[in-house]
Amino acid sequence: MAAKEHIKRDVIIIGAGMAGLTAALYAGRMNLSVLVLENAIIGGQIANATGIENYPGLPNVSGRALIEATQQQAEGFGAVIDEFDAIQKVNLKEDPKLVETEACIYEAETVIIASGMERRKLPLSEEKKYAGKGVHYCELCDGHMYQDKVIAVMGGGNAAVDAANFLTKYAKKLYLVHRSQLRADEASQTKLRENPKVEIFLETEIKALKGESRLEAIDIFDKASGESRELAVDGIFVNIGVSPHTDLFKDEVELAPDGRIIAGEDCRTKLPGVFAAGDVREKEVRQLTTAAADGTTAAILAEKYITSKKRGNIQW
């Protein structure tokens, strides 16, 4: 087998979501050589959002349109985006950093990890049929579509209960369905229980999704009573946990208990020249705007790191 080609870049960005693309835009604009590696869909989860109303300056934009515009900006400043060359392994402790793909071995002065996360999908065979047609994973992205509609929320942790509280501003009726007891903090639970729009089903499983072209009802099963019933709903928001895309880096950078990368607001990890940006970074608030902010921060500080390294006085 022929040896893989070695290619040098100033910055390699892993992940082409909002954080990664913003980092690519800024790094390219600072005349750095930039490669973005993405082995899934460009834009990540937000690419499938049907309507975004909380991105500054864009009152109503689809996720796909926003991502395409950001991608064009990044490429306009010289960033190269490769979505077909899967990463096989990395060595971020080396200098330069090594990122090996199926085709090449890249050497980089800095690496920005913006690999994002994935919401755990509703574990039913019908999920794909109704994805975006009644089954959703982002209440902030898609909740407005259900003004005066009947909404179900699946999950029992803080994220699910907070999502349910948020969605009550749109729903005429809201069901919270969870297979065990709620784990959310008491204040959030109390707020939800006191809302007259809300009905809570605990120790209850969702067994099936129903509808013609889009979701119209869910079948639920009460484990205590053994009874089944059908609930007419217009949409369901699933919040049963997330899986950060960090398996590739578990032996390289420090991970939090939930699998996210530990890095401060400056996006620096403990490894010089390695940054974490966006949803993959351990932080409290995760929004499109904060992902873009992380990408901006990581790119600007990556350029400063490269400059300090050339001068022989590495700053980290």
Residue 104: which of 84, 129, 118, 126 has the closest Cα? 84
Distance of alpha carbon 294 from alpha carbon 53, whole angstroms:
20
- The average confidence (pLDDT) of the chain is 93
* Annotation marks residue 104 as catalytic: no
Q: Does 63 map to a domain?
A: yes
Query: How do residues 59-93 score in pLDDT, each as one tens digit?
Result: 888 888 999 999 999 999 999 999 888 999 999 99
Cα angle for residues 68, 71, 75 (degrees, 5° grid):
140
At 309, which amino acid appears? Answer: K
183 and 280 in a single domain? The answer is no
Do residues 26 and 296 make contact, with C-beta atoms less than 8 angstroms apart? yes
Range of the domain at 249: 5-118+242-310
Query: What is the per-residue pLDDT for 1?
Result: 57
Do residues 111 and 273 make contact, with C-beta atoms less than 8 angstroms apart? yes
83 and 127 in a single domain? The answer is no
Q: Does 182 map to a domain?
A: yes
Residue 179: how many other CB atoms lie within 10 Å: 16
233 and 288 in a single domain? The answer is no
Bridge pairing between strands 97-101 and 117-119: unpaired
Cα dihedral across residues 35, 41, 46, 47: positive or negative: positive
79 and 135 in a single domain? The answer is no
Q: Does 154 map to a domain?
A: yes
**Domain closes at, from 178, 203, 238:** 238
C-alpha distances out from residue 211 to 129, 144, 215, 218, Å: 10, 21, 5, 9
Q: Does 126 map to a domain?
A: yes
Catalytic residue among 95, 104, 142, 247: 142
pLDDT above 90 (res 211): yes
11 and 112 in a single domain? The answer is yes
Query: pTM of the entire structure?
Result: 0.75
Query: How do residues 37-55 score in pLDDT, each as one tens digit?
Result: 998 888 877 776 666 778 8
Phi, psi of 143 (to 5 degrees): -60, -35
Where b means 16+ CB within 10 Å and e means fewer, 269-305 reads: bebbbbbbbbbbbbbeebebebbbbbbbbbbbbbbeb
Q: Does 316 map to a domain?
A: no
**Domain closes at, from 210, 238, 266:** 238
40 and 18 in a single domain? The answer is yes
14 and 112 in a single domain? The answer is yes
**Domain closes at, from 238, 256, 272:** 238
Q: Which of 84-93, 130-139, 157-166, 191-200 has the highest mean pLDDT?
A: 191-200
104 and 248 in a single domain? The answer is yes
Structure tokens at 96: 């330069």
Query: What is the per-residue pLDDT for 250?
Result: 92
Q: Does 233 map to a domain?
A: yes
The domain tally of the chain equals 2
165 and 203 in a single domain? The answer is yes
Distance of alpha carbon 164 from alpha carbon 175, whole angstroms:
8
pLDDT above 90 (res 267): yes
Distance of alpha carbon 178 from alpha carbon 136, whole angstroms:
16
Name the β-bridge partners of 34: 11
Query: What is the per-residue pLDDT for 50?
Result: 65
Please report the DSSP string for 126-186 in residue order: THHHHBTTTEES-HHHHGGGGTTSEEEEE--SHHHHHHHHHHTTT-SEEEEE-SS---S-H
Query: How do residues 17-35 score in pLDDT, each as one tens digit?
Result: 999 999 999 999 999 999 9
* Annotation marks residue 141 as catalytic: yes
83 and 14 in a single domain? The answer is yes
**Mean pLDDT in residue range 171-184:** 96
Q: Does 128 map to a domain?
A: yes
151 and 296 in a single domain? The answer is no
30 and 172 in a single domain? The answer is no
Query: What is the per-residue pLDDT for 2?
Result: 67
Question: In sequence order, what E strands does the chain have?
Answer: 5-14, 34-37, 80-82, 87-91, 97-101, 104-113, 117-119, 135-136, 150-154, 173-177, 198-201, 204-210, 217-222, 228-232, 235-238, 242-244, 274-276
Residue 193: which of 169, 174, 179, 180 has the closest Cα? 174
pLDDT above 80 (res 255): yes
Q: Does 315 map to a domain?
A: no
Structure tokens at 30: 């600072």
| Torsion region of 31: left, alpha or beta (phi above 0 gives left; psi -120 to 50 gives alpha) | left
Catalytic residue among 82, 104, 141, 162: 141
* Annotation marks residue 266 as catalytic: no
CATH number, residue 306: 3.50.50.60
